[in-house]
Amino acid sequence: MFDINLIRKNPELVRENLKRRQEPKYLELLDRAIELDRKWREIKTKANELRAKRNKLSQEIAKLKKQGMPTETLMEEARKVAQEIEKLEDEERKVEEELKTVLMKIPNMLHESVPYGKDENDNVVVKVVGKPPKFNFQPKSHIEILTNLGLLDLERGSKVAGSRFYYLKHELALLDLALQRFAIDELRKKGYILVEPPFMLNKRAYMGAVDFEFFQDQIYKIENEDLYMIATAEHPIAAMFMDEVLNAEDLPLKFVGVSPCFRKEVGAHGKYTKGLFRVHHFNKIEQFIFCKPEESWDLHEELQRNSEELYKKLGLHFRVVNVCTGDIGEFAAKKYDIEVWMADGKYREAGSNSNCTDYQARRLNIRYREKPGMPPKGFVHTLNNTALATSRTMIAIVEQYQQEDGTVKIPRVLWKYMNGIKKLEPRK
RNA sequence: GCUGGGGUGGCCGAACCUGGUAAAGGCGCCAGCCUGCUAAGCUGGUGGGGCUCUGCCCCGUGCGGGUUCAAAUCCCGCCCCCAGCGCCA
């Protein structure tokens, strides 16, 4: 949620920042917010005056009653004031709600280092790690390789649940688990707190964690319950401290979350959707940090280093892009994507590292205090970054480590999590 | 799911029965005074918001509604916590 105080204090600064997103509707929303805020304060002032009047009358009545004096006239007057208040309160509520909705739709302030651009084609490659593997044969897609090996069954996944569902079998299922354990162990070594969150959230928590569009297009709802399946561990971890005030001495709070992720993927038309790349359900290890405002930019880089280290240890070739102003999304002030190399020569997103500054925390009402016993100082900053999404990491491993005979070598760091298995081989 | 008890500032708690406009009291925290320093002690402050901003006012007792001039207090619905019972992977 956007900070109304920033709009009041410096609307032009906000306007210039929003312009960078090249989306005229945001500027309209800003104007709307300014207008609604003006109206809201006007009504609020009037209503407060009336409430003061009512309170005075009430106290007057109480005093008279104590003295055994008649109060009918005053009570009649108070009744009238109460009616007026009710009318104004309806109005106040309406304006306040609309203002809040508008503030929810205005995206976060972008960091100055975010490159200017229109869409994903304008993302700036800031780093390339490793080199594309060289094959002296025609490399295959993970779908072909894994289906041939008898480790992946997409057809039966479709039969029982629909397209973009799948069965992982034998060593491939083991590989999924191995990747999870690998990422968890690496992050735990760095002091990240392992957490397995609820896999469902109620609406209030969910709307705090994501924007409306994401909610609409991605989130599965449980019928007849106020419950929604999580699309990533980021969301339940973010919501964990909803309406709380954290102690600065406990910050930064660093989490490594483990969970399945469920996504409707409505509106994925035109995007790359093959095989395991864009599925309705996958497992992911997620990094999440709550911190003080002044430390979030350093921690954003730390999260980035963590992820890069994981891919490096897996021996994967990837690149890092600084996501441009037109592609970044509403919550993040800055975002890096890690894109892995795939067998068709393209780089595709495997993970995403966002500093949401105070935007998500304001929606979820997560504040911090300098010391126990002190009043709240302000909102925390929240950051989230993929550690490993197993499905996409498996694609990278399979396509980059494939052998001419159709088998797949398994990265050395995973052997111990694979019971010593070093290769994916044909299974029946 | 059932029965009973409960939910009030950062924490503990008072006011609830008997409606009169909450936070008394204590702890913590901040500032000042005092002190060689610290502690103790003393004084003031310590949730959110609005305005005509040395000040004035409003909101705030788990959430939502109702009754009333007036609700922490009475009534209804919901959520959560505790205890016991039931069911159960």
Domains annotated for chain A, with CATH where assigned, are 4-105 (1.10.287.40), 120-424 (3.30.930.10)
A163 labelled catalytic: no
Rounded CA–C1' distance between A69 and B19, in angstroms = 19
The predicted structure's pLDDT at residue A226: 85
A427 labelled catalytic: no
Q: Is the ipTM of this complex over 0.95?
A: no
The predicted structure's pLDDT at residue A179: 98
Name which of A129-143, A197-211, A398-412 the model is least confident about: A197-211
Whether A58 CB is under 7 Å from strand B: yes
Instruction: Convert the pLDDT of each residue in A37-65 to its tens digit.
Output: 999 999 999 999 999 999 999 988 988 88
pLDDT at A223 over 90: no
Cα–Cα distance between A422 and A424 in angstroms, integer?
7
A349 labelled catalytic: yes
Whether A226 CB is under 7 Å from strand B: no
Calculate mean pLDDT across residues A264-284.
89
Nucleotides in chain B with any atom closer than 7 Å to protein CB:
10, 20-21, 28-30, 46-52, 57-59, 69-70
Rounded CA–C1' distance between A126 and B63, in angstroms = 48
Whether A73 CB is under 7 Å from strand B: no
Calculate mean pLDDT across residues A88-109.
93
A278 labelled catalytic: yes
The predicted structure's pLDDT at residue A10: 93
* Phi, psi dihedral angles at A114 (to 5 degrees): -75, 125
Whether A57 CB is under 7 Å from strand B: yes
The structure tokens listed for A136 are: 């002296």
DSSP state of A221: B
CB-based contacts of A287, cutoff 8 Å, min separation 6: A187, A192, A254, A255, A256, A257, A303, A306, A307, A383, A384, A385, A386, A387
